[in-house]
Amino acid sequence: MRPAARIQSAIEILDAIIAAARSGGAPADRILADWFKGNRYAGSKDKRAIRELVYDAIRACGPVPETGRAAMLGLVEERPELRDLFDGSQYGPAAIVDGERVAEGGVAPEWLEDRLIASGIEQADAEALLGRAPLDMRINRLKVPEGLPDLPEPGEALAAPDALRFPTGTQASGWDAYRDGLVEVQDHGSQIACMAVGAQGGETVIDLCAGAGGKTLALAAAMRNEGTLVAADTDRRRLSQLGPRAERAGAAVSAEVLLDPGRELEALEPWLGKADRVLVDAPCSGTGTWRRNPEARWRLSEAEIARYVKTQAHVLAIAAELVREGGSITYVVCSLLDEEGPRQMADFLAAHSGWQAQALDLPLGTERGDGIRLLPSRDGTDGFFIARIGKS
């Protein structure tokens, strides 16, 4: 494909992504995959270039742009060398004319930027949310008890004891070490969140929002497969992915529990009041993960954030029923909005007697309310709020 044709293809894909963001349709990565599947004439270099153009254009826009062309013209303002590719050639985009609509820049829609500012996110912090994330991996100590696994390239050692970092775009899925479960892909911030749990062998630990089990596997490694580890979630599809992942990692998961929303405690009855530690990696707005999903900021609404806040409070109340005296809840969200983090924690403590915030001894993060906050700009991780509370 000629460079101009790549630009036009990116514009067409952006049109589909914008429409999906407005209607709650498929995410950008799925739209790209479907487009590549339907346009097999695009070679590997074409696909890589188109993908980069699409995501660079998404990052260049704050609010949802009107059209894919407007989004690409927004990118042109950052990369003037692309202007000459709007040449009106066959398969290329039409020439740029004076007065054309150009997408507005910024970090996010104005209302969402205001929410971030109110939550103490400074300009440099906000801009870093739209950078490109590196590839972070966790050494699986269930299979590599000490030292480093044999990897095709060296990784940078990070603050978490088993964390390695590789450059953006590293393709690790074909590595023998990955296929054999010696390493797991996991953001450094997520690894630090698992450290906050403090899980130890012989304990009863519940991952209450386990999803596909990334943090469950880290907890199994911390426990050295000793004790009781329960993974629970309401999403059957995501939870079904845990079994094969655990088998590959050599992780012992005592029970996988599919939860019925509104009746969660029925399924969790065997562990009521018995858990030493519960991890609540709660559903959230994902404002800390925009490096990986930049179009996600176009999908949020104030009503949706309010729903997340309500769900988080509900899940915390469930967790409280599971913990024994002397046990703890570790609350984690990949959000930087105070209503999902420190305010959520403060509301729980105000409504539940016998619970206290516990100090966290973590290698990264800054204090925010009763927990800590991780930021891409300061810590090089995804954005997280992490807190731990104990039951007396």
CA-closest candidate to residue 133, choices 312, 291, 293: 291
Per annotation, catalytic residue among 61, 194, 284, 334? 334
**Residues marked as binding for S-adenosyl-L-methionine?**
233, 281
Q: How far apart are CA 115 and CA 135, in angstroms?
A: 29
DSSP codes of every residue in 226-293: -EEEEEEES-HHHHTTHHHHHHHHT---SEEEE--TT-HHHHTGGGTTTEEEEEEE-----GGGTTT-
**Residues marked as binding?**
233, 281
Q: How far apart are CA 13 and CA 21, in angstroms?
A: 12
Q: How far apart are CA 5 and CA 50, in angstroms?
A: 9
Amino acid at 36: F
C-alpha distances in Å from residue 307, one per residue of 37, 85, 297: 35, 44, 16
Q: How far apart are CA 19 and CA 180, in angstroms?
A: 40
Residue 212 in contact with residue 245, Cβ under 8 Å? yes
- Per the annotation, the verdict on 334 as an active-site residue is yes
Residues that are catalytic: 334
